[in-house]
Structure 1
């Protein structure tokens, strides 16, 4: 009997929570369809973009205020989650402010919808229901008394709470939903809640089969609550028993083995652990089909992932296979501060677009040991971090990608890979966006398209603005086409230590403007540091970019530098143990050489020009120097 009461209480709690979500989101979404024009009369009588933006911004601002208030008595994990959500709300807010169409605004409201659901599931944040919330009481035509603390929704005259098709009267603490007259429902039918028809008493809205977004999911959940094959709702651990055989766990610590876990529904993970739970699984197969409903929410929050850890939870998989065959189905995903996944002897395969191998966001962490990953679709890096940063550490394994825009490693966080073999057949080998890092130790990595390693900033909001750092120690990097190293629209650092480099073009390094950023200021500022390296290829730079090359510890550079004299700034620093084998006329803004005799320059008869007006070149005393093979080092004005 106690267990029965526990399930009843938990079920009622879930219902109340979901009703709160329905109320608040319905306010934000009241203007989503063209058929709701008259329901916006309280905001000036028009379903216009400005009104919708103002309403959405007010909801975001008030939600941010409530989140800040929640931090006062929260623990460290919850505070970290709240800070992540505030950052996400601010990002959505910035996009709402610049939205120039209903379609653009609806895209942001969909993201807001998903974020609110995540917040409700992780920190218990439904939607505040006090008088401080946005005053949207004008939404819908209404007359008659009522003591609702939330705005009444839908066209109505007369008192009485109505949710879906029902009759009744009396005061209510919940919003009144649906069209009614004197407390009577306007339609009889299947019980679907009708949210404010715009054609009161003249046209019935036939949209029960076209429910979408959050409303469809909430209604579907209500139906499942009373379904005979529905899983019991509890405050601890739950394993779903739906046809998909997906596994969900909230809190608790559990270990299982020899399982076959399959998820087939849209937006459903095969394994999902939340609320600080810990789940260990071995010797099992995990399969995910069913496309995502939102690519952004799959990229940022792990919606529709094969394996998902969120809200400070931990998952450990060993000797398992994870296979996804759906759009927007990342295989293994950790999101949020404190969320982590550890993989050992795991095989991962993804087949469709937007389905990365392992992915961490918003402070999540993933650790892989002897994991093999293969992806086939576009935008499917084998190892990736996305919005809000993440940390991934990989040791061993083989990683291959086949799709366009699918580098082996894509970082908007901190990624370290050791003793692995990585191949991208349809993309660059490795990409860093913004203030983030990739470190490769004794790896064999190959990019078959575009370039070897690219460091850039897209300003999409996925990565903090700052310096990208690519470090490679030992191993090898191969670029089948393009430069081995490329940077645009960011500050970038390349650190190479004893790496075997193979390029099929004659370009080692390029810094230039590209399609990202503001034209005229979207070049790159690059520091290229080589230690004990054999470097082969030219170095090129456009007039809004700059490059500083430093050669140390027996490094040899064979190539020309800035042959067209286009660089905004080009500097070369070389120690006495290193050598420059010049293959063409070169132009340097600044030049320093620890060997004052310049005997470490093999000029091959070419001229090297330097800027005598730059103070860094004062040691050259504006003179012309004859080099060993008939070439010269001379001021650019000579």
Structure 2
């Protein structure tokens, strides 16, 4: 069950209860299934090693399936297999899958054991379908160029590890509308794109995950989400591994690690991007940041959006990595570089960088920021830019590598008695001419010392 809190007025709140498939399932019966984890300590095969089979195989055909119950109870076996340029429409039906996966890498890359598997330039339409899986199986999996699945007005429920709701890989595309999804187990995200790049588009849906590492979105390709209410009880709302995720008009809650985790699973890559528009991100853990970046060069965009954290930290950039279990951070091979652009938003919280990482923070279009920037450990680099319509309320002393303000009088920086230090040797700061000046609120703008720039402040 999800509970959405609507802020109706400054002194009043209303709650709306939103049902998901867990409200109607026998969760106690699936407790053992959901307690299972997975062993990833073996070399993945780079080719499809198992045949995708099942009792309902549609090969080079067109088919209408309506008002049916389709089931199987077997390991490494799908219920429905749609392949070789087929088009299959399934409506008003139930798909039930039992059975374990022998090789979870094969499940991830090729959909082994998925309840519904679409591949080889095939197209599937699922309408008013209930897909239930146990023992660790994806609900709907799509693989390959020109392979598509369209899932609407349907319910997806899963137990067991690595049992994603909508799942795309190998440049396949899945589109979901008006869905209700629940997964109770480890690493079982609601809407996932795996390697090679999968494309996921989801609208007007409810998503609820309970397992460790089970995000609302997992991306190694492109994810577009609109009007989603989601709660990841023991995961961020999104893992981005070299991907782009675009979120609109959504209300999402994270329960582990961070609000969004952006990383590179191998060597450091660039190009990952997360954007929020007209959306709210709530982050519950005491020490978790809203946005976390590790071993990556990435960007984020916040437009008319909120980030609410218990920790008071908006963003962290670090020399760190996500473990295979997706439950804690470990050391990586490279620092993170994060560029965050804020538009028409009011945000409160701090920016923290570690071990040579950097955060570039830009406020525009009547945005406000209440917070400070500081090094968590070692040297760090921060750049802050404000346009003339935006403002910064400082909550602590801050050292910046680069500082740009379209209001050269600094009337939009409210120091509250804190000092703002800048690198006088940076060309970006030449407009400050190495000067010291008093700011609104009693603090001073000053050139930074060498020790401050090394992060020893």
Matches within 5 A, 1:379-418: 379-418=187-226
Q: Contact conserved, 2:401 with 2:426, CA < 8 A, in 1? A: yes
CA drift of 1:278 comes to 0.7
TM-score by length of 2: 0.85
In structure 1, C-alpha distance between the alignment counterparts of 2:80 and 2:238, rounded to whole Å? 29
Aligned match of 1:41: none
Q: Distance in 2 between matches of 1:370 and 1:610?
A: 50
Aligned counterpart, 2:129: 320
Matched ranges for 1:445-464 at <5 A? 445-459=252-266
How do 1:590-609 residues align onto structure 2 when only pairs under 5 Å count? 590-609=402-421
Report matched runs for 1:25-104 at 5 Å. none
Runs of 4+ in 1 over 3 A off after TM superposition: 515-521, 563-568
**Change in 2 beyond 3 A, CA 1:589/1:380:** same
Of 31, 53, 59 in structure 2, the residue corresponding to residue 250 of structure 1 is 59
2:277 aligned with 1:473: yes
Q: 1:490 aligns with which of 296, 299, 307?
A: 296
- Compute the RMSD of aligned alpha carbons: 2.0
Q: What is the aligned partner in structure 2 of residue 289 from structure 1?
A: 98
Query: Partner of 2:211: helix, strand, or coil?
Result: coil
| Aligned residues of 1:478 and 1:502 also touching (Cα < 8 A) | yes
Aligned mates of 2:184, 2:277 — CA distance in 1 = 28
Q: Which of 105, 108, 113 is the equivalent residue of 1:304?
A: 113
Instruction: Please say if residues 261 and 286 of structure 1, whose CA atoms lie closer than 8 Å, have aligned partners that are also in contact.
Output: yes
Distance 1:601 1:565 in 2: 26
For the 8 Å contact 2:353–2:376, the answer to whether it is kept is no
CA deviation string 1:301-325 (max 9, x = no partner)? 0000011001111111101100001
Q: SS of the residue aligned with 2:48?
A: helix
8 Å CA contact 1:410, 1:431 repeated in 2: yes
Alignment of 1:42-441 (within 5 A): 107-108=43-44, 111=45, 115=48, 246-327=55-136, 329-434=137-242, 436-441=243-248
Offset of residue 350 of structure 1: 0.3
- Summarize the alignment of residues 512-551 of structure 1 with structure 2, pairs less than 5 Å apart: 512-515=318-321, 521-551=333-363
Hey, what's the Cα distance between the residues in 1 that align with 2:247 and 2:340? Answer: 16
Map of 2:10 onto structure 1: none
Q: Tell me which of the two structures has the higher relative contact order, counting C-alpha pairs closer than 8 angstroms and 6 or more residues apart.
A: 2
Separation in 1, partners of 2:407, 2:139 = 53
Distance in 1 (alpha carbons) for counterparts of 2:411 and 2:181: 49
How far off its partner does 1:637 sit? Answer: 3.0
Change (3 A) 1:406 1:117: closer
Q: CA deviation at 1:459?
A: 1.2
* Distance in 1 between residues matched to 2:238 and 2:419, nearest whole Å: 35
How many residues align? The count is 402
Distance in 2 separating the partners of 1:414 and 1:343: 17
- Paired with 2:298 and 2:74, the residues of 1 have a C-alpha distance of 42
SS at match of 2:109: helix
Distance in 1 between the 2:264 and 2:100 partners?
A: 29
**Rounded Cα–Cα distance in structure 2 between residues aligned with 1:488 and 1:590:** 21
Q: What residue number does 2:311 align with?
A: 505
Q: Deviations over 1:400-442 (max 9, x none)?
A: 00000111111111000101101100111111012x1111110
Aligned to 2:246, what secondary structure does the other structure show?
strand
Q: Deviations over 1:235-287 (max 9, x none)?
A: xxxxx7xxxxx311101111120110001111111111111111001000000
* Distance in 2, Cα, partners of 1:442 & 1:544: 35
1:466 shift after superposition: 2.6
Q: Residues 516 and 442 from structure 1, CA distance in 2 versus in 1: closer, same or farther, beyond 3 angstroms?
A: closer
Q: CA deviation at 1:605?
A: 0.4
Q: Distance in 1 between matches of 2:379 and 2:108?
A: 37
Q: Which has the larger radius of gyration?
A: 1
Between 251-260 and 555-564, report the one with greater CA deviation.
Answer: 555-564
Aligned 8 A contact 2:416 2:442 in 1:
yes
In the TM superposition, what whole-angstrom CA distance separates every residue of 1:55-105 from its partner, at most 9, and x where no partner exists?
Answer: xxxxxxxxxxxxxxxxxxxxxxxxxxxxxxxxxxxxxxxxxxxxxxxx95x
Please, what TM-score do these two structures have when normalized by structure 1?
0.61
- C-alpha contact (below 8 Å) 1:330/1:354 kept by paired residues: yes
2:387 is matched with which residue?
575
Cα gap change, 1:564 to 1:257, in 2 (>3 Å): closer
Please state how far the C-alpha of 1:116 moved relative to its aligned partner.
5.2
- Give distance in 1, aligned partners of 2:117 and 2:375: 51
Cα 1:551–1:324 shift into 2, 3 Å: same
CA distance in 2, matches of 1:448, 1:555: 27
Q: Distance in 2 between matches of 1:519 and 1:440?
A: 29
Q: Which has the higher helix share?
A: 1
Equivalent pair of 1:563/1:586 in contact (CA under 8 Å): no
Native 8 Å contact 2:83 2:120 kept in 1: yes
Q: 1:520·1:544 contact (CA, 8 Å) conserved in 2?
A: no
Residues 564 and 523 of structure 1: CA distance in aligned 2, closer, same or farther (over 3 Å): closer
| Alignment partner, residue 147 of structure 1 | none
CA distance in structure 2 between the aligned counterparts of 1:446 and 1:593, rounded to whole angstroms: 33
Flag structure 1 segments of 5+ consecutive residues without an equivalent. Answer: 1-102, 122-216, 218-239, 241-245
From 364, 375, 380, the equivalent of 1:552 is 364
Matched, 1:562 2:374: yes
The 1-side partners of 2:74 and 2:381 are apart by 55
